[in-house]
Structure 1
Amino acid sequence: MEKTPPAPMNRRALLTGSVHCLLATGLMPLSWATALPDAIAALGAVRLPEGGYALAAVNHQAETVWATPFTARCHGGCTSPNGNDVVLFERRPGWSFQVLNSATGEIQQSRLPEAEEHFYGHGVFSPDGRFLYATASHYASGQGRIAVFDAHENYRRTDTWALDGIGPHQLEVSPNGTQLIVALGGIRTHPDYDRVKLNLDKMDPALLFLDRLTGQELSRHRPSDAQLSCRHLAVSNDAVTYVACQYQGPEWQQPPLIGKHHNGQWTEMTLPAPLQSRLNHYLASIAVQPASDIVVVTAPHGGLVVVLDGRSGRVIRGIDLYDASGVKPTDDGGFLVSSGTGDWVWLDPNSDYAIGARGTSAWAWDNHLF
């Protein structure tokens, strides 16, 4: 098992001391949040040292571009195809999402759910950037929903698609742009009961494929165990969908937590026993290099990052990273991985995805990078 090595800060290292000071004061003005020359490589929700929250953007050298404070803890998000808009969702139960200017981090729009509804922390744009699709719950009935917003009309809500199921979480658009792919968690919650799971004996998780224009369900694929909650997705260029699950069953069982859908078939990827047990029934994030199908999953409860060949299921590497959280593919074929302790690592594609560089910040990163 590879452990994070002690390495000096380098061109990929994060954050200068002055940025640490700005964040620690809680007084960072939006006028400071200006874009650096390099394009943004990753964004993620963070918890600040003094206890507040923010959305942070880093460039391809993993240096801070901007950080915008928020009052609530946030989860996942997405960017518009033209790169102008960044959408950030509050963590479940999500009572709003924010639209920010990608160059400056300035908040431009804020949208609320409908009555007796909350968001689930994820959204995705249509290929032309016209529509934003967000997962939601009508918590009074437990019904899962897809909320549709028109980005060209100041994110006005234009439609609501009722799902046959509970707990839609992350969603993505198929490579050909015709379908929405939805991870249906199957777990019912209610804001009045905090994060208590109300239906563990009646779960019905699935991977759903919907018509992107109408919301009609085209196919449904269930995992091997009804208590494998489908949570997060990554889709390759070849339309292979990789699914990260969280298991809600008995602690002594070790079902596979990585699902794979290809050509209409659902399969599951079992890791070697030492790695499988360290997942602790919980995967936080999943990412794929779209052309190569190299997949990375993070398991914060086990302090583990797993790199595998998605096509064969072969494990390439396991890496110890305490509270491993977000992961995103990089343009050079590698991956950026963040942690809840502020640590970052870059996985080098030229060395079988060993740690090529590392850095640290004062921020605690949430489960996702986008």
Structure 2
Amino acid sequence: MPTRRSFLTGLLASGLAPYASWADAGSPAYLAAAKVPSGGFALFGLSAAGARLFEIPLPGRGHAAAAHPSRPLAVAFARRPGHFALVIDCATGETVRRLDTPDGSHFYGHGVFSADGGVLFTTENDYENGRGMIGVWDAAGGFARLGAIPSGGVGPHELRLMPDGGTLVIANGGIETHPDAGRQKLNIPFMRPNLSYVSFDGALADQVEPPEDWHKNSMRHIAVNGDGLVAIACQWQGTMTEVPPLLATHRMGEKLEFHALGPRAEAELQGYLGSVAFSGSGDEIAVTGPRGGMAFVTDADGRVSRRLDQRDICGVAPGQAGFVFTTGEGQVLADSGAAHDMATHDCAWDNHLVPII
């Protein structure tokens, strides 16, 4: 009778050795970064019901994370300008690899895996040349850096994988920054945000930008549903006397459409949306406004169906029915027509709630 060791040796030889899965990390539904009571920071795994499954310390404030599609690996990104991106084994809590950008560049807080998990893409600022880049990493080969491709603009923030599996959609915020100037925005009078669709080889497939009068409407966060509709959450960099719509939607090859959230809603949001998500069905869009203490749910055409008033609400992701939200006061909320608390934790959730698919 073969021993376990000989069985595993045979699997390794045949290339069929079992990999750990997300089940080995407790089957989390979401990842979220947070500030903890000690003043430190951590990456959490949460269940579909908002229960804490794991807590892994981070060396600084986290922003978002990228979840591997099958293995229990998360890439935790620092808040921009990002000086760390850690590949973490969520089953063991160990840091597998620290990712470093080339000299003269830094991370912008977001990344995404290819559908098979073999490649990681990261948004980066090539600040020495004033351009956005997408870092390309060999996730199947120990996360060696393979190179970089242009993002199609300045200040790329969030990026997502399109349903075709071979195209990235990138929110280029249009804002130029440089570490020597801290978080100062260097080009507001002539900034030009855009939404770019870029193939894995770097070819630009499509690109749209706001109307000239709204060129200060920084396109920051995005979500994609199963049929390729992209929802965009913007952050207005102009005066608060006339704030344009902050939610937009787009399909490749079509016009960019903006959707007002209601009379004075954009002003009440202080011109700032923090996160955006589609529901699991793809029929609804949720956007959050932590500065205004509110979130809105719309249909896929941007028509508002309901508003949620909640202090410091920012993270959002699809839930089992509707959406799940997180707040800076430690709450995890479920919404399927009316919001209710699922859990409250002793932490301050950061901006994003990342679903594990």
TM-score normalised to structure 2 length = 0.89
The answer to which of 41-50 and 158-167 deviates more is 158-167
Q: CA RMSD in A?
A: 1.6
Does 2:226 match 1:242? no
Say if 2:25 and 2:90, in contact at 8 Å, map to a contact too: no
SS of structure 1 residue aligned to 2:291? helix
Residue 206 (structure 2) aligned to one of 213, 219, 225: 219
Are 2:65 and 1:77 aligned?
A: yes
Question: Corresponding residue for 2:162?
Answer: 174
| Residues 1:156 and 1:357: Cα distance change in structure 2 (over 3 Å) | same
Partner of 1:100: 88
* Residue 128 of structure 1, CA deviation: 1.3
1:198 to 169, 176, 186: 186
Task: Decide which of 15, 24, 27 is 1:39's aligned counterpart.
Answer: 27
Q: Quick check: 1:323 aligned with 2:312?
A: yes
Task: Extract unaligned runs of 5+ from structure 1.
Answer: 1-33
Instruction: Provide the rounded CA distance (Å) in 1 between the counterparts of 2:344 and 2:157.
Output: 29
* Distance apart, 1:250 and its partner CA: 1.3
Maintained 8 Å contact 2:240/2:267: no
* Cross-structure match for 1:157: 145
Matches within 5 A, 1:94-133: 94-133=82-121
**Following the alignment from structure 1 to structure 2, what is the Cα–Cα distance between the partners of residues 38 and 274?**
43
Partner of residue 258, structure 1? 247
- How far apart are the structure 1 equivalents of 2:192 and 2:62? 26
- Give yes or no for contact 1:189–1:195 (8 Å, CA) kept in 2: yes
Q: Does 1:347 align with 2:335?
A: yes
- Counting matched residue pairs gives 330
Instruction: Report the Cα offset of residue 162 of structure 1.
Output: 2.6
Over the matched positions of the two proteins, sequence identity in percent amounts to 37
Q: Distance in 2 between matches of 1:58 and 1:101?
A: 15
Which residue identity lines up with residue 359 of structure 1 in the other structure? A
Q: Does 1:271 align with 2:251?
A: no
Q: How far 1:196 sits from its partner (Å)?
A: 0.5
SS of the residue 2:49 aligns to: coil
What residue in structure 1 maps to residue 279 of structure 2? 289
Asked if the contact 1:83–1:102 (Cα under 8 Å) also holds between the matched residues in 2, the reply is no
TM-score normalised according to structure 1 size: 0.86
SS at match of 1:166: coil
Structure-1 residue corresponding to 2:12: none
Q: Per the alignment, in what secondary structure is the counterpart of residue 267 of structure 2? A: helix
> Structure 1 CA distance, aligned partners of 2:116 and 2:25?
26
Distance 1:35 1:104, change over 3 A: farther
For residues 53-94 of structure 1, the C-alpha deviation after alignment (integer angstroms, 9 at most, x for no partner) is: 110111122111111111211111111111421111111011
SS in 2 for 1:122: strand
Matched residue SS, 1:301: coil
- Tell me, in whole angstroms, the C-alpha distance in 2 between the residues paired with 1:293 and 1:195: 36
Shift of 1:171: 0.3
Is the 8 Å Cα contact of residues 327 and 335 (structure 1) preserved in structure 2?
A: yes
Preserved contact between residue 38 and residue 60 of structure 1 (Cα < 8 Å): no
Distance 1:111 1:153 in 2: 13
Contact 1:35-1:104 at 8 Å conserved across structures:
no
1:105 shift after superposition = 3.1
Q: Which structure exhibits the higher relative contact order, with contacts defined as CA atoms closer than 8 Å and separated by 6 or more residues?
A: 1
